[in-house]
């Protein structure tokens, strides 16, 4: 059933789907850590475009953590999946407890990945938000809402695979959605990868550094 060998191959295929942006000087690629970073690295390298991370944490339903009842994003944005919250009768205090825990992890990762680097300029740029896939779309919705507050010219959501429901949801909130494949039968993102091993913090840092180095070389050649 798997369609991608790993995130690297998925990113290379996605880069081809984004070919209409090659050469644009206003591009900024933002990856959703951790799994979105290896995918976005390949796309940013092909475009070529600067690569950075945008921190989003899924709010998993207690006992069913794979199911998102919402998400948090850098900038204090919270998006809730109303249908999941209401259908499962999740009380507000549970949402607040999970949100507090995930906020701490978001802040930890912000320090770990970005360190002292300034936030990249977003205003009036075309921002391509990349993850390794979309199941419910809640995480990406939080990212779109938070980036929108920073005044970009255009927000593009790009993923190797997504559920039809997630694509329909994001098409209403992003300016463009690029999904390499949208299977009708969609259970989880990992089912479409042969290798879906967890991306480490060290891999994230390494890919960000490598992307910056490659882009500098590209600009020197020009």
Assigned domain for 84 exists: yes
How many other CB atoms are there within 10 angstroms of residue 108's CB atom? 12
User: How many structural domains does the chain have?
Assistant: 1
pTM recorded for the entire structure: 0.86
Assigned domain for 70 exists: yes
C-alpha span between 222 and 217 (Å, rounded): 9
Assigned domain for 1 exists: no
Assigned domain for 105 exists: yes
Q: Dig out the tokens for 30 from the structure.
A: 């933002």
pLDDT (tens digit per residue) in 66-99: 788 888 887 777 888 888 899 999 999 999 999 9
Assigned domain for 222 exists: no
Assigned domain for 33 exists: yes
pLDDT (tens digit per residue) in 177-221: 999 999 999 989 999 999 999 999 999 999 999 999 998 887 666
Boundaries of domain holding 82: 7-216
What pLDDT, on the 0 to 100 scale, is given for residue 218? Answer: 75
Assigned domain for 141 exists: yes
Assigned domain for 62 exists: yes
Paired residues of 154 in beta bridges:
126
């Amino acid at each position: 059933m798997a369609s991608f060998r790993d995130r690297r191959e998925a990113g290379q295929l996605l880069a081809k789907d984004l070919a209409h942006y090659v050469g644009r000087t206003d591009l900024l690629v933002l990856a959703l850590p951790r799994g979105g970073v290896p995918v976005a690295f390949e796309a940013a390298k092909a475009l070529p475009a600067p690569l950075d991370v945008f921190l989003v944490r899924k709010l998993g339903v207690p006992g069913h953590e794979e199911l998102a009842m919402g998400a948090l994003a850098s900038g204090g944005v919270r998006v809730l999946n109303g249908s999941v919250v209401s259908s499962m009768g999740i009380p507000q205090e549970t949402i607040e407890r999970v949100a507090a825990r995930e906020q701490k992890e978001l802040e930890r990762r912000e320090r770990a990945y970005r360190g002292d680097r300034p936030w990249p300029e977003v205003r009036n740029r075309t921002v391509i938000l990349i993850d390794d896939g979309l199941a419910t779309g809640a995480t990406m919705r939080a990212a779109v809402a938070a980036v929108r507050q920073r005044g970009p010219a255009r927000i593009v959501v790009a993923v190797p695979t997504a559920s039809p429901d997630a694509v329909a949801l994001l098409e209403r909130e992003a300016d463009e959605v690029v999904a390499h494949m949208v299977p009708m039968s969609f259970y989880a993102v990992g089912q479409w990868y042969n290798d879906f091993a967890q991306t480490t913090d060290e891999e994230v840092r390494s890919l960000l550094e490598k992307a910056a180095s490659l882009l500098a070389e590209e600009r020197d050649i020009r």
